[in-house]
Amino acid sequence: MALRQSTRRDRPEVSVPVTGLVKGRAAGTAATVGLAALGLAGCVTVNAPDKPIVIELNVNIRQEVIYRLAADAGDTIEENADIF
Amino acid sequence: MGLTMTKTKTILAGAAFALVLGGLAAPALAQRDPAYAAARAAGQVGEKMDGYLGIVGAETPALRRIVDDINIKRRAVYSQRAQANNATLEEYALTAGCQAIAATVAGEKYQAPDGSWQTRTAAAPLRDSRCP
């Protein structure tokens, strides 16, 4: 039961496309409230696959970090041509 | 005379040592393992967004071995470079993934932002919007 509840609360954030995480969170909260308002019958219909979770991990990595590391990563690939 | 001989010997030994060192250093810029190169060219393996290699079609033990071997080595390199750059392993790996996908040549496979496998063409690859 506890697992179901957490699923219901978390999934709307996770399953929303990467482009609008903040928006997605707000929408997710709204969706949760909406679902709760509908009553107890058949709330758990959001069955997102595992895939979006992987993407969500990456969302935490900011573009500026990637830009800072880009040159070094490029060199690393050239210097380790056997494994790239 | 004896002293000169010793000196010459030392110089020769030094030269030989340098040759050996040079020989040892050369493999650092080694080429891909033939099995890996073949799998890559055949599109059986591809570059994932996360900076690691993935199996594109049906998995075989041989492909799994190649991919795991490469990925373990990549991870070691990433973790070393990440530390040197005050970044996390995931941040560095993702950045390297951007670069590795950009470096694919036509015919090779890579993973698009939606998770699907794509074949690289002459056009720019489909990459994460954060890629430089």
Alpha carbons B131 and B111: distance in angstroms, whole number? 13
- Picking from B30, B32, B95, the nearest residue to A73 by CB comes out as B95
Task: Please state, in angstroms and as integers, the Cα–Cα distance from residue B6 to each residue in A39, B16, B98, following that order.
Answer: 95, 15, 56
Chain B CB contacts of A82 under 8 Å are: 30-33
Q: Is 80 exceeded by the pLDDT of residue B81?
A: yes
pLDDT per residue over B91-101, tens digit each?
A: 999 999 999 99
Residue A18's identity, in one-letter code, is V
Question: DSSP labels for chain A?
Answer: -HHHHHHHHHHHHHHS-GGGHHHHHHHHHHHHHHHHHT-STT-------SHHHHHHHHHTS-HHHHHHHHHHHHHHHHHTGGG-
Interchain contact B74–A (C-beta under 8 A): yes
Handedness of CA B6, B7, B11, B12 (dihedral sign): negative
pLDDT per residue over A23-75, tens digit each?
A: 555 555 555 555 455 555 667 777 766 666 555 555 677 889 999 999 999 99
Residues 49-68 of chain B whose Cβ lies under 8 A from any Cβ of chain A: 49-50
Interchain contact B45–A (C-beta under 8 A): no
Q: Is 50 exceeded by the pLDDT of residue A4?
A: no
Are residues A67 and B132, on separate chains, in Cβ contact within 8 Å? yes
Are residues A66 and B74, on separate chains, in Cβ contact within 8 Å? no
pLDDT per residue over B22-47, tens digit each?
A: 444 444 568 999 999 999 999 999 99
pLDDT per residue over A5-26, tens digit each?
A: 444 444 444 444 444 444 555 5
Neighbours of A53 (CB within 10 A): 13
- Position A16 scores a pLDDT of 43
Q: B16 versus B61: which is more confidently predicted?
A: B61
Q: Which of these, A26, A18, A24, A19, lies nearest to A55 by C-alpha position?
A: A18
- Position B7 scores a pLDDT of 53
Closest residue in B to A59 (Cα–Cα): B130
Alpha carbons B132 and B127: distance in angstroms, whole number? 9
Do residues B75 and B89 touch, judged by C-beta distance below 8 A? yes
Alpha carbons B116 and B112: distance in angstroms, whole number? 5
Chain A closest-CA separation from residue B130 CA (Å): 5
Alpha carbons B49 and B96: distance in angstroms, whole number? 9
Chain A CB contacts of B49 under 8 Å are: 58
Q: Is 70 exceeded by the pLDDT of residue B15?
A: no
Q: Is 90 exceeded by the pLDDT of residue A1?
A: no
Are residues B77 and A70, on separate chains, in Cβ contact within 8 Å? no
Are residues B74 and A58, on separate chains, in Cβ contact within 8 Å? no
Confidence band of B121 (pLDDT split at 50, 70, 90): very high
Alpha carbons A11 and A1: distance in angstroms, whole number? 15
Task: Please state, in angstroms and as integers, the Cα–Cα distance from residue A8 to each residue in A20, A48, A58, B120, following that order.
Answer: 19, 10, 22, 39
- Position A62 scores a pLDDT of 85
Q: A81 versus A50: which is more confidently predicted?
A: A81
- Position A61 scores a pLDDT of 78
